Structure formats: structure tokens, C-alpha cells
Amino acid sequence: MSEPALSHEPAATDGAIPTDAPEHAGSLRELLRIAVPLIISSGSVSVMHLANRMFLTRYSLDAVAAVLPSGILHWTIISLIFGTVQYANTFVAQYEGAGRRDRVAAAVWQAIYLAVGGGVLVNLIALQAGPMFAAIGHEPAIAKLEGEYFGTLCFSSVPMLLTAAMTCFFSGRGQTRVVMAVNVIGVSVNVLCDYLLIFGNGPIPSLGIRGAGISTVVAQTVECVMLAWLFFDPSQRAAYGTTSNRAFDRELFRRFVTFGFPQGMHFFLDVASFAVFMQFIGRLGKTELAATNLAFNLNTLAFIPMLGLGTAVSTLVGNRIGEGRPELAVRTTWTAFKLSAAYMLTFAAIYVLLPDLILRPYFADSAEANSAAVRDTVVLLLRFVAVYCFFDAMGIVFGFAIRGAGDTRFALVFSCLTAWSLMVMPTAVSVTWYGGGLRSSWWFCTIYIIVLGLGFFARFLAGHWKSMKVIEAVRGEDM
């Protein structure tokens, strides 16, 4: 049974999706209906990579050492295109809110064209995977494995980007349970293939780290095929013209890139800033680097679900902007912020009061002499996380809200300036010339996240986003 869309139009009999009751518009009930499936499915790609690392831990320590840097490099390269493609969610939400169903499908097709072109370019990079990792200077055995994993992973780029594009068709219209189901199946396929391909079972030979990469390629392809099947379903073809509106639209593509590229660049620079920050932390020592990695990993327990909530906020804001009812977008955003603040403050209390509880799985079987030092350092760093996680929630909710209206350029410029001026550059100067340590570096990181959250909050309160739209005006309507 299909989910209700977000449109405020009356229910139709031509295959249109039934609407929410008016009294629930902007309510917590509406938000949770959209957000819960996205919270469950958000980070499915991260779960795939986590599964790969867990299985490779039992296979080879060299493979474990190689899988993280090569996986991060692939995400860094693809993040620019991925973030741009994913902005089709806002176009879909605003067109759906405006009741312009033909343009919903057209917007998704522009994202599909960009996904195919960008994915092919990333595949070409795979041809240079071996020489690229050899030039980085890692040990030859590690570099060889990094090249194998990265080169294989690149072939997941086209299905991964196509999945992102077609996901927007469903998430932008509020059909988030479809997205959740597809993501859960994809992760399950990845785990099953890891078991079969990494170690080898029956007639299947052991492929090691290459098998982990193939598992992700297969899982992303399965997700892509499932979404394509749903996208071209006869009911969708009749209601939205998912085949008849497939033409390349130069003007729509231009607007899509104009608004979407800043989000893609935001994704890329965010990943790059933390990658550079980690490089300088690595100069402080093995213990400091290991503790920082673990602290950030623990923070994902709180952070990743908030990305699903943020996408829900962006969808609902975009829909209300398309409807011409920004006051409901304000109500939804405040509801989401209260929810996220309570969630993050709960995690802050756990980080400060019960660090042993969440650290126990990581150190239960550890016999290394320096594990105690790493653990004590992580406990310290979790206090920093507790300080900034509330503001992290603020940045996610209000940042996604203004981007859902089309305020992507401010988000790009502000996030870039704060990340590099408050976190990366001060850490570089402190570590390189003034003998700064781990505490000072983490203070810079904490200050950056606090300022980022407050900045997005201030931009939301200013209200410029209320008069923005990413969709074109129809005749007789002001933009």
C-alpha cells in the first residue's frame, strides 16, 4: 500500500496519492511519519562500509588497514556529485507542493543524467587506482590492497548515484518507507555477499578485500534496480509521467545545478576539512589519532540518525514552500529542533556519565599495552563531543531547513569559511609551529561546530529563505 504524499490537494481518482489530513500539517505526527524511515535508512552506505570492515577484521589486518583510507578517498571524490544529485529532493518536494507532477519527474531525470555522467567519470579514475595509492607512500602491500578496493568500489559509483537520484522521487514526495525498505535490502545483500566473497564459500573463491568491494557494487546495483522498477511502475508513469518527461531540459538542468552544486561542494569541502584535520591529529601520535577516530565513530551513533531527520525537514520545508505556506515550514522546523535537541542532550549525558558503557565493546577483548591510554583519551574527547553535540543538532536541522527552500549558497560559503578558519587553519598553525596538542585541536573543532550551529540558526531566524524557490514560476505567479 502506497504512502500518502505531502501535497495539500484533494484526493483524486486518477491514481494520485491521497493526502494528509489538514489538521496534521506541520505537526509532530507528520514529521515522524516522514523522518522515522529516513532515520532508519540514513547512513546505509556507511553501514555497508562498516560491514566490509567488520568482515575484513577476521580476514587480514592488512586489509583492515587498507579499506578505511581507500573508502574515504572514494567518498571524497564522489561527494561533490552525490550532494548535487541529492538536491533533486528539494526540487521534487517543491514541485509536489505546487501540484506540478510533470515537473517532479522531469527534475528527477535531470538528476539521473548528472548521476550517469558523474559516475562514468569516477569509473575512469579507477584505472589509475594502483599508481595513485603507490604514490601516496604507504607500505607496498597496503598500497596494493588500497588500489584493489578503491578500483573495485569505483564501479559502484553509477548505481550509487542513480540510487540517490531516484530516491529523491520517493523521499521528496514523502514516501520514505519505500526508501527505507530499499536501503535495508541493500545492506542485507551487502552483508550476505561479504560473507560469500571475502572468505569464499562452496564454489566461490576467497576474494578478500576485492570481494568486499564487489559486495558493495552488487548491493548498490540491487538498490538501483529496485528503485528503477518502482520509478517506472505503471501507476507512476500514469500519475507523474516518469517515462514521458524524460527529456533533457536545459533550463531545468541549469537551475538544478545552480542550486544543487553549492550543496555538493558543501559535502565535498566538509569531508575535505575533516580529512585535513585528521592528518594534523595524526602528527600528534598513534594514540591521539586512534582516540580521535574512535570518538568520531561513537559520535556517529547520534549524528547519522540526525541526517535522516534533516532530510525530512528539508522535504517538508520544500513542500511547504511549493505550497506557498512557509509558516508551516517554520512550525515543522521548530518541532524537529526540539526533537533533535532532546535526542542529542541524551547522548551528551551518556558521553559524560556512562562512557564505559559505550566503550566496552571496543576494548573488551583488547590486549594491547596502549589500549588503556587510548581509552582514557577517548573518555576525555567524549566530553568535547558532549559540549558541541547540541549545536551539531542545531546546524543539521536549521541548515537542512534553509537548504530545503533553496538557500544553498549561504550554506556553502558559511560552512566553508567556519570549517577552514576556525578548525583546520588554527589546528595546522597550532600543531606545526606552536606545539599544540590534542586538547587545543579539539577545542578548535568544538568552536567550529558551535559557531556553525548558531550561524544556521541565525540565518533561519532572519527568514530570507521564506521567499526563496528553486522551481520556476508559472504564468501569472511571482517567484
Which among 460, 406, 411, 404 has a CA at the least distance from the CA of 259? 406
- Among candidate residues 248, 282, 314, the one where a domain is terminated: 248
The answer to the question of residue 404 being in a domain is yes
| Contact predicate 99/9, CB 8 Å | yes
- Among candidate residues 248, 282, 302, the one where a domain is terminated: 248
Q: Note the residue count of the chain.
A: 479
Q: Are residues 215 and 97 in the same domain?
A: yes
Please report which confidence band the pLDDT of residue 430 belongs to, taking 50, 70 and 90 as the band edges. Answer: very high
The answer to the question of residue 222 being in a domain is yes
The answer to the question of residue 19 being in a domain is no
Instruction: Give the span between the Cα atoms of 145 and 215, in whole angstroms.
Output: 16
The answer to the question of residue 9 being in a domain is no
Q: Are residues 347 and 198 in the same domain?
A: no
Q: Are residues 274 and 153 in the same domain?
A: no
Q: Are residues 327 and 459 in the same domain?
A: yes
pLDDT digits (tens, 9 = 90+) for 285-310: 878 877 887 888 788 778 888 999 99
The answer to the question of residue 207 being in a domain is yes
- Which pLDDT score is estimated for 362? 66
The answer to the question of residue 35 being in a domain is no
pLDDT digits (tens, 9 = 90+) for 187-246: 999 989 988 998 887 778 888 889 989 999 999 999 999 999 999 999 999 999 999 999
Domain around 215: 43-248
Work out the average pLDDT over 341-353: 94
- Which pLDDT score is estimated for 3? 43
Kindly give, in sequence order, each residue whose CB lies less than 8 Å from that of residue 60, ignoring residues fewer than 6 positions away: 208, 209
Which among 94, 110, 84 has a CA at the least distance from the CA of 247? 110
- Name the burial class of residue 101, with classes exposed (0-12), middle (13-18) and buried (19+) by CB atoms within 10 angstroms of its CB: buried
- Among candidate residues 213, 248, 283, the one where a domain is terminated: 248
Q: Are residues 308 and 185 in the same domain?
A: no
What predicted TM-score, i.e. pTM, was given to this entire model?
Answer: 0.86
- Which pLDDT score is estimated for 137? 65
Which cell goes with 208? 578478500
402-396-106 Cα angle (round to 5): 50
Q: Are residues 127 and 48 in the same domain?
A: yes
Kindly give, in sequence order, each residue whose CB lies less than 8 Å from that of residue 74, ignoring residues fewer than 6 positions away: 122, 150, 153, 154, 157
128-158: burial string, b at 16+ Cβ within 10 Å, e else? ebbebbeeeebeeebbbbbbbbbbbbbbbbb
Q: Are residues 222 and 277 in the same domain?
A: no
The answer to the question of residue 60 being in a domain is yes
| Contact predicate 335/28, CB 8 Å | yes
- Which pLDDT score is estimated for 135? 74
- Percent of all residues in the chain with a pLDDT value above 70, rounded to a whole number: 91
Q: Are residues 367 and 230 in the same domain?
A: no
Using left for φ > 0, alpha for ψ between -120 and 50, and beta otherwise, residue 475 falls in beta
Which cell goes with 235? 501507476
Q: Are residues 141 and 223 in the same domain?
A: yes
Q: Are residues 226 and 366 in the same domain?
A: no
Work out the average pLDDT over 390-406: 95
Q: Are residues 52 and 142 in the same domain?
A: yes
Q: Are residues 218 and 364 in the same domain?
A: no
Please report which confidence band the pLDDT of residue 8 belongs to, taking 50, 70 and 90 as the band edges. Answer: very low
The pLDDT of residue 99 is above 70: yes
Give the chain's domain count.
Answer: 2
The lowest-confidence range among 58-67, 176-185, 408-417 is 58-67
- Name the burial class of residue 35, with classes exposed (0-12), middle (13-18) and buried (19+) by CB atoms within 10 angstroms of its CB: buried
The answer to the question of residue 238 being in a domain is yes
Which among 201, 197, 194, 151 has a CA at the least distance from the CA of 54? 194
Which cell goes with 7? 501535497
Instruction: Give the span between the Cα atoms of 376 and 26, in whole angstroms.
Output: 44
